[in-house]
Each structure stands twice: as structure tokens, then as C-alpha cells.
Structure 1
Amino acid sequence: MRKQSGFTLIELIIVIVILGILAVTAAPRFIDLQSDAKAATLDGVKAALQGGSQLVYAKAAIQGKQNLADSTVTITGVGNVATVYGYPDAESFTAILAGSSAAVTDLAAFAEIDEAEFDIVESAATTDGSANTAATDGEFVIVFQGADDGDACSVRYQNSAGTGQAPTISIETPSSC
């Protein structure tokens, strides 16, 4: 009788199935494409806000309003943009949330950001009277639509602190992102 060496076809198939199951359960832990995509999107939002605020500052400088703590700058196609030391005022974005018809500043026009994809969280009281703690005075936070405001991937915009100082625009990416 001849002695066999190696695996049978059944044993080979079982090993392949087990390896496949292990790969399917372990792969998402090593390949987290969703959080990478969110981080890249937030980088784009930050860049859009930086670019947009620089354009507003350039317009304020042309109009001689870059040193004023409280002013407005007229931008063709956007309207009047409230400024702090020549940079867009965070409070002007709160009118977008309230749906104010008096608000001419439009986030999409200002920084070319899709409002259908993001929410703007600001420091004013919410419609039910409770305070929103995700942002303080002089700042706003942009989060993904439907995200929890206090614990979400976000971009935070803080007003310029003084003449010649650009606004602080930072990305916050907690582990839950």
C-alpha cells in the first residue's frame, strides 16, 4: 500500500474557508476607509474656510477695513459679510442656521462648502432654549449632517483675535470619528 502525503481536497477547502472568515472579520480593523474619508473631507473643509477667509480679508484690505474690530465687507455674488479685523465673523454664520432672510452671507457661496452635507453648530441658544456647548462666542463648528455636536469629527472656526491675526481654523477628530 502506498502512503499518502499532503492534504485532501476537503481539508484544503476547510482551511481556505477558515482563512476567509478570519480575513473578513479582521480586515475592517486594519482598513478603516470611512474615517480616512471623513478626515480627508474635513481637511478640504478647513482649506475652503482658510481660502475663503483670505479672500474676504483681501476684499477688506482693498476697502480699508482690515483693522476694524467690527465691520462689513461687500462681496459680489455673496453680499455683505460681517468681519472681525478683516476676516469673516463667526457670528454671521449663525444667521444661516436660523434661516434668517436678512442674512446675506451664505456658507456655500463664501467657502464653496455643501450645506446639505454639513451642519453649523454655534454658541447661541438652540430653538428649545437649551445652550449649545459645542461652540463658544466668536466661533462656530462644522460637523457632518446628523452627527452628535459634542462628540463628532469637526472643523472649528474662531474669530481673528486682533489686527493682522488670521482666524484659528482647526480640525477635531476624536476616536469616534
Structure 2
Amino acid sequence: MKKISRIQSGFTLIEMIVVMLILSALAVTAYARISQIDTQARLAALQSFKATVLSVATMAKGVCMSDPQCDGNQTTPSAVIEGNTIYFSHGYPVGWLGNEDGAGSLSQLVDAGKFSVQAALSDTNRATYTLQGARDSNHCKLEYIISTGSANTAGLSVSIDSTGC
């Protein structure tokens, strides 16, 4: 008796459907991950900027403490840092002085990159920076606040609001 062999020359419909389902599941998972990359990047930029502001303010405070012109008894405590006269409030660089370029303030010490100071929300003891390109710039920001209590309780607060990034 002669044996007849069948040679399969393609895929069955069930095999094709299974492969398409697997590829669809992978595509949905990949899309979910990729769609969040821009938000994660903005959040990382905000956290990095916070660390930069904290370290710059702390180093500037050290310079202020070693400079006699920066004594708290001075009318306008200041120190020269990298060729810029920086003014201080309670030992920390002031947030914003109201000048168009923020001369003498924290803005001269940090490379803001994609962040811009909101002058209307800022003053001597405060600076508010928003991230350009955020979904909601009112809720993707960094706030630099110098508390103005007594000399022993004065301090620095740097906080971020990332709900709109």
C-alpha cells in the first residue's frame, strides 16, 4: 500500500488568529508604556531642577556665611558669586527682585533650561518656575520659598507640583 503524505503549504486560520492576538497584546502594552514617556520625562526634569535649586541655594548660603558683606545686619546683604552680585534674604539667595532679568537673585545662579520664572507669582522671598511645554503649566512648577521667621527658624523650602506635567 502506498502512503500518501500531505505537505502543509501555509498557516491555518486558527494559527493566524492566535499570532494576531499575541501581536495585538504586545502592541497595546508597548503603546501604554510609550504614551507615558513624555510625562515621565517632564517629571524627571522637574525633580532634577529641584535638586539643582537646592544645591545652588545651599552653596550660595555657604558663600554668604563667609562674606562680611552678606552679614544679616547689612541693609542689603549681598555676595559676589561668579561675577554677579547676589542678594540674600535670611542667608539664602533672594527668589526674584522684580527686575526684568532677575539680576541679583537665584535666577542668575541656576541654568533654568526649559523652566521660566513667573514674575507675577514671585517676590524677594519666593520664586515660582514653570516648565515650558507642560500640559498645565500652573500645575507643573517648582516653588522656591524662603521662610521669614526669626533667624533661628528661617529656612528654605523647595517644592514641586507635578500634577499637570
Same fold (TM over 0.5): yes
Larger radius of gyration: 2
Deviates more, 1:51-60 or 1:69-78: 69-78
Task: Give the aligned residue type for 1:118.
Answer: F
Unpaired runs of at least 5, structure 2: 1-10
CA distance in 2, matches of 1:161, 1:47: 22
CA distance in 1, matches of 2:32, 2:40: 13
Partner of 1:173: 162
Task: Give the aligned residue type for 1:121.
Answer: Q
Unpaired runs of at least 5, structure 1: 1-7, 125-134
Q: Give the alignment's Cα RMSD to 1 decimal.
A: 3.1
Partner of 1:149: 137
Partner of 1:44: 48
Task: Give the aligned residue type for 1:13.
Answer: M
Cα deviation 1:74-124 (Å, max 9, x = unaligned): 3242411121111011123x43xx247xx25573x512432xx111113x3
Alignment coverage as a number of residue pairs: 152
TM-score (norm 1): 0.68
1:63-102 alignment, distance < 5 Å: 63-64=67-68, 65=70, 67-68=72-73, 71-92=76-97, 94-95=98-99, 98-99=100-101
TM-score (norm 2): 0.72
